[in-house]
Structure 1
Amino acid sequence: MDEYGERVRRALTESGMSLRGAAKALSYDVAYLSRVINGKQSASPEFRKAVATVLRVSANPEPAAPDDEEQAWDLTRRVQASDVRGGTLERLELAFDELAMAYPKSSPEELLARVRKHSGYVAKLLDSKKTLAEHRRLLVVGGWLSLLGATVHIDLKQDDAATARLQTAATLAREAGHPEIEAWCFETDAWRVLTEGDYLRALELSRIAQSLAPANSSALIQATAQEGRALARMGDSKETYTAIDRVHALSSEIGEPDQPEHHYKYDPNKALAYTATTLAWLGDTGAEPYARAVIERLKPNSDPSRWPRRVASANIDLALVLISDNRLDEACDSVQKAILSGKVAPSNHWRALEVVKAVEARGLPEGPALRDAYRELRATDDL
C-alpha cells in the first residue's frame, strides 16, 4: 500500500464512512476506490481533488517526519514563541481588579459592558501564539472575568447568561488549575439559587465550594457565610450561629486585605454585613447593631443615591429586625430609604418585598406608599 492510499484509508476510518458510502460521495466506482486504497492503481488528479473535498485528505504527500533532535528544538521554539505583547497580561489583570473593586458602587449594566469588553479581548488572545505560562495567566484572568460577569448577570436576574458564564469560569479554572475560582463559582451559584428560594440547594452548593476552596482563602470564608445564610432561611438557628462563628474566626485570621473593596478579597468588615443579613433572616434582634455599623461605616453622605449597594442591603436588614421588634415607624423609614436609593439590585428585590409585605400585613398607613415605591423600583429596572 502506498502512502496516499494509507491516508485515504485512515480518513475513511476516522469519518466512519463505509467503502460503498465513500465511493458514492466521491462519485467513483467502489472497485476503483479499493484499488487506490490498496496501492494497485494510481489516483488520478480529479480523484485526488474529490477526496480532498469529501474526506479532507490533501492531494500532496505528507512531509517526512522530523528526526528526534529536530522535534526537540521545534518544541522549544513553540514553547518560547509569543505574540502577546509585553505588559498586556499585567494590564488585563489590573483591569479585572479595578472592575472587582468597582462592583459595590457601579450599576450592573455599566459594569457588564466593561466585563464584556475585556472578556472579548481575552478570547482573542487565547487564539494567538503565546508561552505556556502566558496561556495559563490568560485562562486565570478569563476565569475571573467570567465569574464577575456571572455575578452581574445574577444581579440583573439574567439566569441563562449567568449559568453560561459560571460554566465558562469553572472550565477555565479547571484548565488553569485554579481551585479558588472554581470554589467561587459554586459559592456564586449558591447565592443565585438562594435568591430563588431553593435553600437546600444553596446549602449544598456552598458546602461544595468550601470543599474546593484553598485554606485561608476568601472563597472559603464567603462560602461559609453563604452556608449560614441558607441555614438561616431554613430556620436552623443552632447551625446558623455556628456558621456565623466560623465566618468570624476565619475572617480574623486573614487580616485586612490590600484592596478591601475588591469583591473577591474578603474584608473582615464584610462580616458585619453578612452577620446583619443572617441574623435578620432568623428574626434575631442582634442584627440591629451590625446593620447600623455597616450603614455608619459605608454611608458617604445623606444622599441615598450615592450609597454603595451594601448600605441599601443593610437598611433592608435593619427594617426586617425593627419590624420583628415592633418598631414599625423606624422600619418603614429604613426600607423606604433602601428602595428610593436605587441601589437595590434586581436580585435583591425579593428582600425589599419581604419588608413591604410585612408592613402591609400589619395594616400600617405607610404600606401603600412603600408598595408604590417598590413598583417604581421594579419598573425602573425592567426598562
Structure 2
Amino acid sequence: MVDFGSEVWTALKAQGKSLRGAAKELHYDVAYLSRVLNGKQAPSPELIQAVNEFLGLSLELEDAAPHDDEMDAWELARRVQASGVGKATLERLERASDGLAMAYPKAKPEDLLRQVRKHSAYVGKLLDGKKTLSEHRRLLVVGGWLSLLGATAHIDLMQDDAATARLETAATLAREAGHPEIEAWCFETEAWRLLTDGDYVQAVDLSRAAQEIAPAGSSGLIQATAQEGRAHARPGNGAETYSAIERVQTLSASRGTPDTPEHHYRYDPAKALSYTATTLAWLGDAAAEPYAKDTHSAEGGSGVSQGFPLVY
C-alpha cells in the first residue's frame, strides 16, 4: 500500500509548497491535514481526490483506510466548533438533503448512507472556507439534517456506535445553529431506538425531552408525542397511552397536508389514524379495530400497516 503521507510530503517539498498553504488551497483545517500526513488519521477519499488534483498526483482511492462513520461524525463536530459558499451551492445542498429524507421510506439504508457521507463531507469542507454568518448557519442546519438521517440509517443497519456518533453530531450542529427541531428529532430518534430495544422507561423520558425542545406545532413535536404513546403502550400503561394519542390527534388536526408527505421529517396528518390503531393494538385495546377499519377504508383497503410503520 502506498504511504499517502510520505507521497504528499515529498510532492509538497518538490513543488515548494507548505502544509499551511496546501491546507488553505484545499479548504481543509491545517491541523486535520497534518494528522493525516503524519499517519495519525486515515485520509478520506475526498481528501485523496483533492490532493491528487492540487499536486498532480495519481494516488489511488483504494489506498484510503475503510470508511469510519463514527470518526467522520466526530470530525465534523470538531470542525464546526473550531470554526465563498454562495446561494446556489447552499440551495443545492438543502434540496439534496430534502431529497434524501424523501427517499428514506423506500431506500436501502446502505445506499442512503453513501449519499449522506458524500454530502456531509462537502458540508464539512465548506465549513472550513470563507462564508458569511448566514451561510455558516445554513451549512450547520443542512449538516444537522444529514447527520440525523445518517444516524437513522445506521440504526436500521444495527450499527450502534456510528448511530450514536451521528446523533451527537446532529445535536451539536443543531445547538450551534440554534435549531431546536433538529435537536428534538435527535432525542426522538434515540427514543425510537430504545423502544425497539425494549427500554420503554427511557424511551418515554427521551420522547418527553424531545417535546420540551421541539417548536410548537412542529413535526418533531408530533412525532415525539407519538413515540411517547408507543413507549407507554408496550408495557400496558393505559392512561398515559390514551393521553398521548389524544395529543397526537389534536396536534395533527391543526396541520395541513405537507407538500411532500413522504419526507421523513414532515409529519403527515393522514398517518394519525393508523398511528392510533397501531398504538391501541399494542396496548391490547379492542378500540383499535374501528380505527383500523377507518384506516383500511381511507387507504383503499391497505390496512393498519400502510399508513404508519409499526415501529417508526
State the shift of 1:234 in Å. 2.0
Q: Does 1:122 align with 2:117?
A: no
Equivalent residue in structure 1 for 2:306, among 281, 302, 311: 311
CA contact (8 A) 2:147 2:166 kept: yes
Partner in structure 2 of residue 281 of structure 1: 282
Whole-angstrom CA distance in 2 between matches of 1:102 and 1:288: 31
Instruction: Please tell me the residue identity of whatever aligns with 1:159.
Output: D
TM-score, normalization by structure 2: 0.68
Partner in structure 2 of residue 104 of structure 1: 105
Partner in structure 2 of residue 175 of structure 1: 176
Q: How does 1:176-255 map to 2 (within 5 A)?
A: 176-255=177-256
CA contact (8 A) 2:275 2:308 kept: no
Distance 1:294 1:203, change over 3 A: same
Note the alpha carbon deviations across 1:253-278, whole angstroms, 9 max, x for none: 12211221111111101212322221
Instruction: Please tell me the residue identity of whatever aligns with 2:306.
Output: V
State the shift of 1:152 in Å. 1.2
CA contact (8 A) 2:245 2:276 kept: yes
Whole-angstrom CA distance in 2 between matches of 1:117 and 1:288: 45
State the shift of 1:289 in Å. 4.4
Whole-angstrom CA distance in 2 between matches of 1:135 and 1:247: 35
State the shift of 1:85 in Å. 3.7
Partner in structure 2 of residue 58 of structure 1: none
Q: How does 1:1-383 map to 2 (within 5 A)?
A: 83-291=84-292, 311=306
Partner in structure 2 of residue 328 of structure 1: none
CA contact (8 A) 1:104 1:310 kept: no
- Aligned length, in residue pairs: 229
Q: Secondary structure at the match of 2:263?
A: coil
Note the alpha carbon deviations across 1:137-179, whole angstroms, 9 max, x for none: 0000000110111111112211111110000000000000001
Instruction: Please tell me the residue identity of whatever aligns with 1:208.
Output: A
Whole-angstrom CA distance in 1 between matches of 2:225 and 2:267: 12
Distance 1:291 1:98, change over 3 A: farther
Q: What residue ranges of structure 2 are gaps of 5+ in the alignment?
A: 1-83
Whole-angstrom CA distance in 2 between matches of 1:135 and 1:154: 29
Q: Secondary structure at the match of 2:138?
A: helix
Q: Secondary structure at the match of 2:254?
A: helix
Q: Which moved more, 1:287-296 or 1:86-95?
A: 287-296
Whole-angstrom CA distance in 1 between matches of 2:256 and 2:180: 22
CA contact (8 A) 2:170 2:183 kept: yes
CA contact (8 A) 1:199 1:230 kept: yes
* Structure (1 or 2) with the larger CA radius of gyration: 1
Note the alpha carbon deviations across 1:277-325, whole angstroms, 9 max, x for none: 21111112333444455566668x99xxxxxx963976xx6xxxxxxxx
TM-score, normalization by structure 1: 0.56
State the shift of 1:94 in Å. 0.6
Partner in structure 1 of residue 49 of structure 2: none
User: Aligned-residue CA RMSD in angstroms?
Assistant: 2.4
Task: For CA contacts below 8 A with separation 6 or more, give which structure has more relative contact order.
Answer: 2
CA contact (8 A) 1:231 1:237 kept: yes
Partner in structure 1 of residue 25 of structure 2: none
Whole-angstrom CA distance in 2 between matches of 1:136 and 1:158: 29
Distance 1:206 1:237, change over 3 A: same
Distance 1:108 1:288, change over 3 A: farther
CA contact (8 A) 1:183 1:219 kept: yes
CA contact (8 A) 2:207 2:227 kept: yes
Instruction: Please tell me the residue identity of whatever aligns with 1:116.
Output: R
